[in-house]
Amino acid sequence: MDYRNLGRTGLKVSELCLGTMQFGWTADEEISYQILTHAFNAGINFIDTADVYSFWAEGNPGGVAESIIGKWLQRQDIPRHEVVIATKVRGKMGDGPNDEGLSRAHILQAVDDSLKRLNTDYIDLYQTHWFDDSTPIEETLSALDDLVRQGKVRYIGCSNYPAWRLMESLWTSDKNNLVRYDSIQPHYNLVHRSEYERDLAEVCSKYQIGVIPYSPLAGGFLTGKYRKDQESKSARAGGASRYFNTQNWELLEKLESLGKEKGGYSISQVSLAWLQNVPTITSPIIGPRTINQLEDNLGSVGLKFTPDEIQILDRASKWKTEED
């Protein structure tokens, strides 16, 4: 597996990032350990999580995914420097008024809690999960700057920020000599392109910001499990149904055809490879619930497309007709 710089930082990360939202939710603890080990042995050194994962699951108060990663590091005796760990802060982690958001008070408490759960003394990439209207950006960035100076955090990133908020953050960091966001996690895939491509892509290219797209398979739609005129019994069909339209059904056919032409690649592998071939993308975040899904995802690494093939996929997924 090849490795690439995370934006302008010196961090070398794998072409795929292992997401962990499913840990303690749709993947139990033992399966999660297996996925982590298999991914690491396959060359994935980049692991993304969040303190809130996955509080929406029954019996999961949040922090479970971080705890699984921390126990895995200790259980497998993984050298800490060989893994790039990214986590996030913002979500509600308690019942108090300061138990969520991007205030200094919450960030300073949340980072210590994450460090304890992750069984580590530093976080490679600490990300604000989504913006916080109630906290001045100067306060958030000042708190994050302190964490970098203290050595608890190496680099900072953001997630779900529109282009104007990202630019505001970069300007604030420059003006006040504070650490800046070096990465962003946007919602980006073949059937959800405009959110990133309309404005964010140019900002990320101009300012050398690493891009770690989430939902690269569109909630399962880009695996080919949903087909036109076929009723699905999947529990996730409701979320994927927003992509059920003529253009996207035709796109699935082109993905399937191209995969066969390239030597037998699956629809999901072609979809992931398309993202890996976008110049501004660092590492798409995959979320396998089983070893078989992980193996399929890994099969996308190294798949290259000709300019004509890229053009075919771009035209088939053009976003001017999207309803974002």
Q: Tell me the pTM.
A: 0.95
User: pLDDT value at position 232?
Assistant: 59
Residues 56 and 65 sit within 8 Å (Cβ to Cβ): no
pLDDT at 78 over 80: yes
Q: 3-class DSSP state for residue 102?
A: coil
Q: How far is residue 321 from each of residues 222, 228, 234, 243, measured CA to CA in Å? A: 18, 19, 27, 12
Instruction: Give the pLDDT band of residue 234 (cuts 50, 70, 90).
Output: low
pLDDT, average across residues 273-295 = 97
- Mean pLDDT is lowest, of 152-156, 176-180, 222-226, for 222-226
- Supply the mean pLDDT for the chain: 95
DSSP track, 256-288: HHHHHHTTS--HHHHHHHHHHTSTT----EE--
User: pLDDT value at position 227?
Assistant: 85
* Active-site residue set: 53
Q: 3-class DSSP state for residue 61?
A: coil
Q: Which of 127, 146, 130 is nearest to 138 (CA)?
A: 146
- Reported as a single tens digit per residue, the pLDDT across 96-118 is 999 999 999 999 999 999 999 99
Instruction: Give the pLDDT band of residue 239 (cuts 50, 70, 90).
Output: confident
Domains of the chain by residue range: 3-223+278-289
pLDDT at 322 over 60: no
Instruction: Give the pLDDT band of residue 240 (cuts 50, 70, 90).
Output: confident
pLDDT at 6 over 90: yes
> Is-cis flag, bond preceding 54, omega within 30?
yes
In angstroms and rounded to an integer, the radius of gyration of the C-alpha atoms of the chain is 19
User: pLDDT value at position 233?
Assistant: 58
pLDDT at 44 over 50: yes
User: pLDDT value at position 231?
Assistant: 63
pLDDT, average across residues 292-299 = 98
The CATH code belonging to domain 3-223+278-289 is 3.20.20.100
- What is the identity of the amino acid at 55? F
Distance CA 62, CA 76 (A): 23
DSSP state of 23: B
**81, burial (CB in 10 Å: exposed 0-12, middle 13-18, buried 19+):** exposed
Instruction: Give the pLDDT band of residue 172 (cuts 50, 70, 90).
Output: very high
Pairing of strands 153-159, 123-128: parallel
Instruction: Give the pLDDT band of residue 229 (cuts 50, 70, 90).
Output: confident
pLDDT, average across residues 167-186 = 98
User: pLDDT value at position 321?
Assistant: 46
% pLDDT > 90, the chain: 91
